[in-house]
């Protein structure tokens, strides 16, 4: 549909319908199309938490992927009811898209603390001919009041989801799915240490793979929070894109399985900033020595964090198969992400950045694909990663990798 040519007609059509209650100041209205829906809200200059009703066009990619994940999940669950809580609904775009674009979606609940957002979400719901439930409460209260109602809880707040995970853990159905966005990447990636300790009870450090560490800190915090309720997680898909991180995990319930999951999946990653050696350990405390076994430098440590898998091969394959059934503007970008995610889903934790290694060795960087092939030729795992298009996930040790990089460098 050609939005621009229709924009004026739409706007006058929308204007005539807008109740003076929701547009008391007679503000200019923005109308956008995304997926199969059209959404209106008061115009604002800059995307920020201060806009009267929040909408961020950059998150279309996030919403498109969510439609895909939830459709695959709905098919796996294959049950009559499939209820979704859009906990921070803003303009309503997410929940309205879920109702329109996910076959089998049943009751969708839109909640937002901002009364104006709920008014616009109601308006947008009517305009898109869907029938949804509304609530204007603090997210924690909404979840505490509605335990066991939702197969899906979508947590897409401003900044950290940390304040809402306990209530989500309490409220989510057994075998339900939690979708979690975090935009406080500087805390998760170790730009500053204290915010990560305060919000995620975990140590972080800055490194070339800090986005992977960040999503692992977020996942570890989710797993430890759910464990209070004897619930454990299976991550189906996750990604770090632009300014945010997003996790999708299935929630299961059983005390022994929760204990086993924590024992297997919670641990630490330690890193030597001098020679780039790193090591992953399992357990709530780290048995790793403080000094680097290769060069003797003091190691940095991140954790507790999730050292288990960040996705599931079969689930990602089902997402790829499902994509043709949907009408998603960001399809190309999604396919690129899903294909690289398939490569890395079974690969080791952390990755190496060839430029960082070359700088460390004071030589020019060789081509990444040559390094990937040379590692494979030696019989090791060697794949790319969506976290950094110049990154390599491999099980070769740092000295073996440095040897390869030296041999392939044009400075040799
Ligand atoms: C990032 S926006 C949500 C965007 C929306 N999910 C989307 O995809 O367009 C966060 C929303 O959370 C709402 N909010 C902030 N604090 C809240 C709270 N404690 N409980 C419920 N809603 C809250 C804000 O009014 C805002 O609309
Ligand atoms: Zn070292």
Confidence of residue 412 (pLDDT cuts 50, 70, 90): low
The whole model's pTM is what?
0.95
Q: Does the structure show a pLDDT above 90 at 78?
A: no
Question: What 3-state DSSP class applies to 359?
Answer: helix
Bridge-based pairing state of the strands 352-353 and 382-385: unpaired
Q: If you measure from the C-alpha of residue 288 to the centroid of ligand 2, how many angstroms do you get, rounded to a whole number? A: 13
| ipTM reported for the complex surpasses 0.90 | yes
Distance CA 157, CA 181 (A): 7
The secondary element (H helix, E strand) that includes residue 197 is helix 193-200
Closest ligand to Cα 54 = 1
Average of per-residue pLDDT across 296-306: 97
| C-alpha–C-alpha distance, residues 208 and 385, integer Å | 12
Q: Indicate left, alpha or beta for 26 from its phi (over 0: left) and psi (-120 to 50: alpha).
A: left
The CATH H-level (homologous superfamily) assignment of domain 56-344 is Vaccinia Virus protein VP39 (3.40.50.150)
| Spatial separation of the C-alpha atoms in residues 376 and 287, rounded to whole Å | 31
- Compute the distance between CA of residue 341 and CA of residue 325 in angstroms, rounded to an integer: 20
Which of the two residues, 18 and 228, has the higher pLDDT score?
228
3-state secondary structure 283-306: CCCCCCCCECCCCCCECEEEEEEE
Q: Which atom of ligand 1 is nearest to the CA of 91?
A: 9
Nearest to 108 by CA among 152, 139, 67: 152
What residues flank ligand 1, with Cβ below 6 Å? 54-55, 59, 63, 88-91, 93-94, 112-114, 117, 138-139, 156-158
More confident residue, 104 or 15: 104
Q: What is the CA(88)–ligand 1 centre distance, in A?
A: 4
| Closest to 347 in 3D by CA, of 398, 307, 404, 389 | 307
Residues paired with 391 in a beta bridge: 353
Common-topology check for domains 56-344 and 352-408: no
Smallest CA-to-CA distance from 323 within 331, 315, 313 is with 331
Q: Rounded to an integer, what distance in angstroms lies between the CA atom of residue 390 and that of residue 211?
A: 14
Give the residue-averaged pLDDT of 51-70.
95
| Beta pairing partners, 388 | 385
d(CA 342, CA 357): 25
Q: In 35-162, at which residue ranges do the beta strands (DSSP E only) sit?
A: 37-42, 84-86, 108-111, 133-135, 152-155
Identify which ligand lies nearest to the alpha carbon of 296: 2
Q: How far is the CA of 355 from the centre of ligand 2 (A)?
A: 18
Q: What is the pLDDT of residues 158-215, one digit of tens each?
A: 999 999 999 999 999 999 999 999 999 999 999 999 999 999 999 999 999 999 999 9
Closest CA to 150 of 97, 205, 184, 106: 106
Measuring from atom 12 of ligand 1, which residue has the nearest CA? 88
Q: Is residue 49 pLDDT above 90, yes or no? A: no
Using DSSP bridges, classify how beta strands 152-155 and 84-86 pair: parallel, antiparallel or unpaired: parallel
> Whose alpha carbon is nearest atom 26 of ligand 1?
90
Domain map (residue ranges) of the chain? 56-344, 352-408
CATH architecture of 352-408: 2-Layer Sandwich (3.30)
Distance 305 CA to ligand 2 centre (A): 22
């Amino acid at each position: 549909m050609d939005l621009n040519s229709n924009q004026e007609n739409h706007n006058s059509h929308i204007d005539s319908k807008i109740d003076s209650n929701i547009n008391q100041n007679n503000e200019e209205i923005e109308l956008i199309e995304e997926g199969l829906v059209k959404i209106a809200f008061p115009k604002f200059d800059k995307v920020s938490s201060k806009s009267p009703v929040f909408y961020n066009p950059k998150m279309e990619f996030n919403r498109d992927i969510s439609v895909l994940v939830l459709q695959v999940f709905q098919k796996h669950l294959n049950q009559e009811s499939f209820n979704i809580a859009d906990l921070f609904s803003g303009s309503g775009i997410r929940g309205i898209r879920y109702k329109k674009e996910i076959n089998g979606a049943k009751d969708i609940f839109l909640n937002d603390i901002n009364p104006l957002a709920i008014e616009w979400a109601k308006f947008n719901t009517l305009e898109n001919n869907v029938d949804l439930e509304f609530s204007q409460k603090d997210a924690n209260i909404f979840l505490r009041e509605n335990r066991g109602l939702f197969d899906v809880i979508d947590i897409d707040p401003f900044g950290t989801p940390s304040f809402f995970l306990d209530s989500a853990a309490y409220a989510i159905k057994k075998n339900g799915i939690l979708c979690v966005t975090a935009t406080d990447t500087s805390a998760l990636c170790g730009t500053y240490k204290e915010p990560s300790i305060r919000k995620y009870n975990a140590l972080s450090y800055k490194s070339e793979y800090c986005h992977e560490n960040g999503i692992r800190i977020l996942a570890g915090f989710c797993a430890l929070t759910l464990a209070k309720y004897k619930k454990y997680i299976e991550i189906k898909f996750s990604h770090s894109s632009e300014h945010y991180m997003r996790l999708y995990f299935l929630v299961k319930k059983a005390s022994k399985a929760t204990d086993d999951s924590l024992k297997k999946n919670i641990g630490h990653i330690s890193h030597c900033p001098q020679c780039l050696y790193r090591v992953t350990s399992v357990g709530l405390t780290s048995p790793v020595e403080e000094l680097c076994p290769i060069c003797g430098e003091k190691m940095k440590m991140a954790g507790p964090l999730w050292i288990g898998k960040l996705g599931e091969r079969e689930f990602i394959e089902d997402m790829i198969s499902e994509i043709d059934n949907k009408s998603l503007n960001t399809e190309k970008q999604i396919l690129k992400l899903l294909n690289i995610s398939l490569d890395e889903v079974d690969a080791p934790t952390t990755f190496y950045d060839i430029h960082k290694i070359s700088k460390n060795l004071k030589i020019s960087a060789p081509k990444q694909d040559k390094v990937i092939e040379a590692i494979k030729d030696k019989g090791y795992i060697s794949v790319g990663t969506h976290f950094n298009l110049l990154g390599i996930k491999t099980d070769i040790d740092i000295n073996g990798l440095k040897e390869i990089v030296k041999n392939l460098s044009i400075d040799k």
